[in-house]
């Protein structure tokens, strides 16, 4: 009996090891705010070489609003923000007054209750695939079954080399502990894009730095003998456009005398009237002054934004024209002080808001150049690569992206 038990255990170990060995490897790398045309500046030899050996899309279309957290969550869940719940980097539950906020030491980014979608690492866990994350929005949830198996609390100043070395260490773990899906994140192009604008020499330096990090990553993958077995996907969450304090519309001045809460950020704003009977009058007042922005009642927002079904979205939504900023007195003062030169968050059909998509490895076609892809389709693409079932309630569609696979 004991012998039989030992034999069964032996077979189980052999089978699970060979199952793990047969699983593909996918490394999903995000370059925050890396606008689609940054690849055309002659500054990215490493990324371009990877693109030439694999798939390169003209651009990657973000979801609305074209902000960091909504988009990273859409990439990892395959859902629009109205369905995955992270409708902005900063928003309020109007029923309880609780606030979700991306900020240093923010508790809310870890609270599972805001996140309504299933991230790929949870789908993977149900399918016995080990996952890891060297940073990704939504990777630190307090419920352990909703986190990657290995994850790092976000540290903005963590050196980039250390992040890559961390990933390489994970890939050298013993087979039974080794993650097969890993995310990696770099903020460089977003930070310099905000500070100096997308056409600055500072952004060009940030692009070059991320390209050299790409070179470092591939050289390390070669060193550990995994360059031919790892599928790498480079994405960005959104692009960037030039802004200036000359192009502002002060909403507080237009709505003088009304009582309301103003949420969102400069490229898009949500207005929540204190008295619901004021919705129509506030809407009509904004409509009369809609120079350089568009105003919608939540239920009338065009379908293509996919941004009306979440209960925390305010009754009135304003979207600034590209390059314009919607402000109140406080925001305007801050804007004049920090003199930021670039921003994103605008309508997601604006090409300036589009990011990049490059993929290479055993799962991908070689030398394929294709048109714009949508970031919500990446989750079903990941499921296809791992040959597992995606959730049925997603917005992403494999039909739109599957052709990039071999």
Q: Which residues bind Zn ion (CB under 5 A)?
A: 32-33, 68, 190, 237
Residue 370: CB minimum distance to Zn ion, A:
23
Per-residue x/- mask for ligand AMP, residues 147 to 186, rule CB under 6 A?
A: -------x-x----------------------------x-
Q: Phi and psi (nearest 5°) for 310?
A: -90, 135
Residue 135: CB minimum distance to ligand AMP, A:
5
Q: Phi and psi (nearest 5°) for 108?
A: -65, -30
Q: What does 102 bind: Zn ion, ligand AMP, none (CB cut-off 5 to 8 Å by kind)?
A: ligand AMP
Q: Based on CB atoms, which residue is closest to Zn ion, 118 or 237?
A: 237
How far is the C-alpha of 216 from the C-alpha of 47, rounded, in Å?
Answer: 11
Q: Based on CB atoms, which residue is closest to ligand AMP, 136 or 386?
A: 136
C-alpha closest to that of 178 among 224, 135, 143? 224
Say which of 68, 122, 131, 189 is annotated catalytic: 68
Q: Which stretch binds ligand AMP (CB under 6 A): 133-141, 202-210, 218-226, 310-318?
A: 133-141
Determine whether 285 is an active site residue.
no
How far is the C-alpha of 80 from the C-alpha of 63, rounded, in Å?
Answer: 7
How far is the C-alpha of 316 from the C-alpha of 94, rounded, in Å?
Answer: 14
100 within 8 A of 114, measured Cβ to Cβ: yes
Residue 356: CB minimum distance to ligand AMP, A:
16
Q: What does 233 bind: ligand AMP, Zn ion, none (CB cut-off 5 to 8 Å by kind)?
A: none
283 forms beta bridges with none
Residue 381: CB minimum distance to ligand AMP, A:
22
How far is the C-alpha of 359 from the C-alpha of 382, rounded, in Å?
Answer: 12
Q: Phi and psi (nearest 5°) for 364?
A: -105, 150
Neighbours of 355 (CB within 10 A): 31
Residue 345: CB minimum distance to Zn ion, A:
8
Window 240 to 279, contacts with ligand AMP (CB under 6 A): none
Residue 69: CB minimum distance to ligand AMP, A:
7
Q: What does 377 bind: Zn ion, ligand AMP, none (CB cut-off 5 to 8 Å by kind)?
A: none
**DSSP 8-class letter at 173:** S
β-sheet with 268-273: strand ranges across: 260-265, 268-273, 316-320, 293-297
Q: Based on CB atoms, which residue is closest to ligand AMP, 76 or 279?
A: 76
Residue 136: CB minimum distance to ligand AMP, A:
6
Looking up tokens 């390489």, which residue turns up? 168
Per-residue x/- mask for ligand AMP, residues 317 to 356, rule CB under 6 A?
A: ----------------------------------------
Q: What does 156 bind: Zn ion, ligand AMP, none (CB cut-off 5 to 8 Å by kind)?
A: ligand AMP
Q: Under the criterion CB under 6 A, does residue 190 sit at the interface with ligand AMP?
A: yes
CB under 8 Å to 30, separation ≥6 — which residues? 72, 75, 136, 183, 184, 185, 186, 235, 236, 237
Q: What does 120 bind: ligand AMP, Zn ion, none (CB cut-off 5 to 8 Å by kind)?
A: none
Q: Based on CB atoms, which residue is closest to ligand AMP, 353 or 404?
A: 353
Q: Based on CB atoms, which residue is closest to ligand AMP, 69 or 386?
A: 69
Angle among Cα 212, 213, 217 to the nearest 5 degrees reads: 120
Q: How far is CA 140 from CA 71, 114, 369, 382, in A?
A: 16, 13, 35, 20
Alpha-carbon Rg for the chain in angstroms: 22
Window 61 to 90, contacts with ligand AMP (CB under 6 A): 67-68, 89
Residue 198: CB minimum distance to ligand AMP, A:
13
Residue 331 zone, left/alpha/beta (φ > 0; ψ -120 to 50; rest): alpha
Strand (E) or helix (H) holding 10: helix 2-22
Query: Which position among 29, 50, 55, 109 is part of the footprint of ligand AMP (CB under 6 A)?
Result: 109
Q: Based on CB atoms, which residue is closest to Zn ion, 237 or 272?
A: 237
| Residues near ligand AMP, by CB under 6 A | 32, 67-68, 89, 102, 109, 135-137, 154, 156, 185, 187, 190-191
Annotated catalytic residues are 68
């Amino acid at each position: 009996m004991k012998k039989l038990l030992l034999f069964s255990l032996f077979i189980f170990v052999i089978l699970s090891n060979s199952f793990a060995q047969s699983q593909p490897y996918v490394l999903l790398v995000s370059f925050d705010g890396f606008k689609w045309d940054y690849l055309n500046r002659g500054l990215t030899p490493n990324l371009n070489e990877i693109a030439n050996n694999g798939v390169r899309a003209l651009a990657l279309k973000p979801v609305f609003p074209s902000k960091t957290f909504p988009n990273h969550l859409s990439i990892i869940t395959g859902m629009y923000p109205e369905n995955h719940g992270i409708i902005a980097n900063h928003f309020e539950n109007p029923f309880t007054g609780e606030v979700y906020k991306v900020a240093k030491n923010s508790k809310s980014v870890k609270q599972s209750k805001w996140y309504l979608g299933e991230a790929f690492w949870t789908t993977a866990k149900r399918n016995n695939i080990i996952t890891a994350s060297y940073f990704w929005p939504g990777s630190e949830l307090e419920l352990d079954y909703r986190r990657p198996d290995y994850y790092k609390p976000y540290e903005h100043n963590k050196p980039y080399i250390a992040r890559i070395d961390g990933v390489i260490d994970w890939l050298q773990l013993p087979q039974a502990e080794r993650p097969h899906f890993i995310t990696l994140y770099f903020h460089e192009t977003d930070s310099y894009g905000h500070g100096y604008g997308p056409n600055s020499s500072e952004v060009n330096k940030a692009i070059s730095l991320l390209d050299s990090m790409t070179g470092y990553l591939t050289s390390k993958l070669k060193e550990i003998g995994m360059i031919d077995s790892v599928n790498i996907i480079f994405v960005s969450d959104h692009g960037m456009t030039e802004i200036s304090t000359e192009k502002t519309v002060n909403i507080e001045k237009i709505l003088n005398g009304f009582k309301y809460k103003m949420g969102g950020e400069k490229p898009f704003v949500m207005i929540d009237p204190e008295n619901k009977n004021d919705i129509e009058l506030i809407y009509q007042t904004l409509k009369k002054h809609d120079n350089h922005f568009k105003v919608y009642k939540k239920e009338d927002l065009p379908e293509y934004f996919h941004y009306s079904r979440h209960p925390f979205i305010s009754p009135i939504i304003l979207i600034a024209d590209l390059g314009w900023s919607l402000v109140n007195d406080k925001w305007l003062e801050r804007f004049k002080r920090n003199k930021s030169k670039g921003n994103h968050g605008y309508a997601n059909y604006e090409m300036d808001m589009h990011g990049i998509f490059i993929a290479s490895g055993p799962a991908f076609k070689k030398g394929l150049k294709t048109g714009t892809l949508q970031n919500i389709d990446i989750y079903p693409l990941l499921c296809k690569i791992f040959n597992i079932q995606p959730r049925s309630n997603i917005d992403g569609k494999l039909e739109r992206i599957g052709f990039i696979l071999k």
